[in-house]
């Protein structure tokens, strides 16, 4: 019954699916988990799958993989490159690629799931393997919880997960405490009163509100934060109007916010809302702006003592030169939602995917050439081995810290 992980990986890589559309991937996962003997729950958060394997008394460990691909045209030139397409939220047909390596995560978690079935005498407790939709949109983990995840499976004592990254394959990276930034995407629609461009006195101009807001919101970082606090407030989009001589009745501003501290995040979001409301008030707008949180990623915070235990296990398993400190990353993840929702500690780490054969002179991530494609690049191409084996071994070894 041994799983052929490399062929599973190639199949998943050739058949990526967009967020909340991972139906085929979920089917592949469900079939393997069922064959392995897991109690399987499906359609959590539309496509999420969770398997439970009980093996006597002991702790409960949740291992998590995300499943979604991205709307990217694959340009890796690999013989198993994706030529798949999907339907975006706006109804258009888009190319799809596993440009973030979530196919690595799914395959490695299936490998770990098999390992624990075949080695029942080496562990005690309950293993939960969770395959999550829509990490890229930030709503996948919450949608599984909203669909009753923790009513269906035991509350875990720890949540463990991993991400493939531009680090030499065979290496792993951990970090204690805040490891990835919180990210919030916000749309603010200013409401005005439309009219003729020649008669501004008959209108309330939302374009001016949006412009004024965009300038003033820069002061959140420059004037409301201390010298040692970090945040990014970016206005990446302004949409308004149809014609030069028409003052429109609404204007929309799209923001992206990154923060590394929960209290600071609340302050920054509060300041943005305050400024948006005040701009509308100052302009005499007919109603306050409509503020919509489009997506939201929490801070990824690795619980220090659990992370120290996992790091020690990795050093024992992979050797001291193969384990480094990842530091704090500016990217974002929703894996923390699975831990926060049940009060369990989180340990989330990174595994390398860069072919050591190509960069034999490189030692560790600090020396990685700048032209190594990063996640979300159309050229992102993790080498199959030792990436998959490292992913399986890391999940198994980390889980055994509780189950062993």
Q: Least distance to Zn ion from the beta carbon of 141, Å?
A: 13
Q: Least distance to Zn ion from the beta carbon of 70, Å?
A: 7
Taking contact as CB under 5 A, which single stretch among the options 10-18, 77-85, 100-108, 383-391 is the one that binds Zn ion?
100-108
String marking each residue 210-239 x if it binds Zn ion according to CB under 5 A: ------------------------------
DSSP string, 137-180: TT-HHHHHHHTTHHHHSPPPSEEEEEEEEEEETT-EEE-SEEEE
CB-neighbour burial class of residue 101 (10 A; exposed 0-12, middle 13-18, buried 19+): buried
CA 73-78-80 angle, 5° bins: 85
Taking contact as CB under 5 A, which single stretch among the options 96-104, 170-178, 239-247, 269-277 is the one that binds Zn ion?
96-104
Q: Does 388 bind Zn ion (CB under 5 A)?
A: no
Cβ–Cβ < 8 Å for 341, 146: no
Closest CA to 172 of 347, 303, 332: 347
Distance CA 149, CA 136 (A): 20
User: Given the complex with Zn ion, which of 28 and 100 has the nearer CB atom?
Assistant: 100
141-180 positions binding Zn ion, by CB under 5 A: none
In this chain, which of 12, 33, 100, 183 binds Zn ion, going by CB under 5 A? 100
User: Given the complex with Zn ion, which of 100 and 160 has the nearer CB atom?
Assistant: 100
Q: Least distance to Zn ion from the beta carbon of 235, Å?
A: 22
Closest CA to 267 of 223, 320, 201, 317: 223
DSSP string, 86-122: EE-TTS-EEE-B-TT-HHHHHHHHHHHHHHHHHTGGG
Alpha helix stretches (DSSP H) within 284-404? 304-318, 335-340, 384-403
Taking contact as CB under 5 A, which single stretch among the options 76-84, 92-100, 216-224, 334-342 is the one that binds Zn ion?
92-100
Cβ–Cβ < 8 Å for 182, 297: yes
Alpha helix stretches (DSSP H) within 174-290? 206-216, 219-224, 262-283
User: Given the complex with Zn ion, which of 19 and 174 has the nearer CB atom?
Assistant: 19
Taking contact as CB under 5 A, which single stretch among the options 94-102, 150-158, 259-267, 304-312 is the one that binds Zn ion?
94-102
Distance CA 349, CA 341 (A): 20
Cβ–Cβ < 8 Å for 324, 352: no
Q: Least distance to Zn ion from the beta carbon of 100, Å?
A: 3
Taking contact as CB under 5 A, which single stretch among the options 97-105, 245-253, 293-301, 358-366 is the one that binds Zn ion?
97-105
Distance CA 226, CA 73 (A): 42
User: Given the complex with Zn ion, which of 33 and 99 has the nearer CB atom?
Assistant: 99
Q: How many residues lie near Zn ion (CB under 5 A)?
A: 1
User: Given the complex with Zn ion, which of 100 and 108 has the nearer CB atom?
Assistant: 100
User: Given the complex with Zn ion, which of 100 and 344 has the nearer CB atom?
Assistant: 100
Residue 238, SS3 per DSSP: strand
User: Given the complex with Zn ion, which of 100 and 180 has the nearer CB atom?
Assistant: 100
String marking each residue 52-91 x if it binds Zn ion according to CB under 5 A: ----------------------------------------
Q: Least distance to Zn ion from the beta carbon of 166, Å?
A: 12
Q: Which residues contact 219 (CB under 8 A, 6 or more apart)?
A: none
Interacting residues with Zn ion (CB under 5 A) = 100
């Amino acid at each position: 019954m041994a799983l052929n992980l490399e062929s599973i990986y190639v199949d998943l890589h050739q058949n990526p699916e967009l967020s909340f559309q991972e139906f085929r991937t979920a089917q592949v996962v469900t079939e393997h988990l069922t064959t392995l003997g897991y109690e399987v729950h499906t359609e959590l958060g539309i496509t999420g799958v969770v398997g439970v394997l009980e093996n006597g008394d002991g702790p409960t460990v949740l291992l998590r993989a995300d499943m979604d691909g991205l709307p990217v045209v694959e340009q890796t030139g690999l013989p198993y490159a994706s030529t798949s397409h999907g339907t975006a939220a706006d109804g258009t047909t888009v190319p799809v690629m596993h440009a973030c390596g979530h196919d690595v995560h799914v395959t490695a978690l299936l490998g770990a799931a098999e390992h624990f079935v075949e080695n029942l005498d080496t562990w005690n407790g309950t293993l939960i393997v969770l395959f999550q939709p829509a990490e890229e949109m930030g709503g996948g983990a919450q949608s599984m919880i909203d669909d009753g995840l923790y009513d269906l499976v035991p509350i875990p004592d720890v949540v463990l997960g991993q991400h493939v990254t531009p680090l030499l394959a065979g290496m792993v990276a951990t970090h204690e405490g805040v490891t990835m930034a919180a990210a919030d995407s916000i749309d603010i629609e200013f409401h005005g009163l439309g009219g003729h461009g020649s008669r501004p006195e008959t209108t309330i101009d939302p374009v001016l509100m949006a412009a004024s807001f965009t300038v003033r919101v820069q002061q959140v970082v420059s004037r409301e934060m201390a010298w040692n606090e970090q945040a990014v407030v970016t206005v990446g989009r302004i949409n308004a109007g149809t014609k030069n001589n028409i003052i429109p009745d609404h204007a929309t501003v799209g923001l992206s916010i990154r923060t590394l501290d929960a209290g600071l995040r609340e302050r920054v979001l509060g300041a943005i809302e305050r400024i948006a409301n005040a701009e509308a008030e100052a302009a005499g707008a007919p109603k306050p702006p409509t503020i919509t949180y489009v997506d939201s990623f929490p801070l990824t915070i690795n619980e220090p003592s659990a992370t120290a235990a996992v790091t020690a296990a990795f050093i024992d398993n992979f050797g001291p030169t193969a384990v480094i400190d990842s530091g704090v990353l500016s990217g974002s993840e929703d894996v923390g939602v699975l831990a926060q929702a049940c009060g369990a500690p989180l340990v989330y780490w990174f595994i390398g995917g860069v072919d050591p054969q190509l960069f034999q002179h490189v030692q560790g991530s600090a020396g990685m050439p700048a032209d190594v494609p990063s996640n979300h690049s159309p050229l992102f191409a993790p080498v199959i081995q030792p990436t998959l084996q490292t992913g399986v071994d890391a999940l198994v070894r980390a889980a055994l810290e509780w189950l062993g």
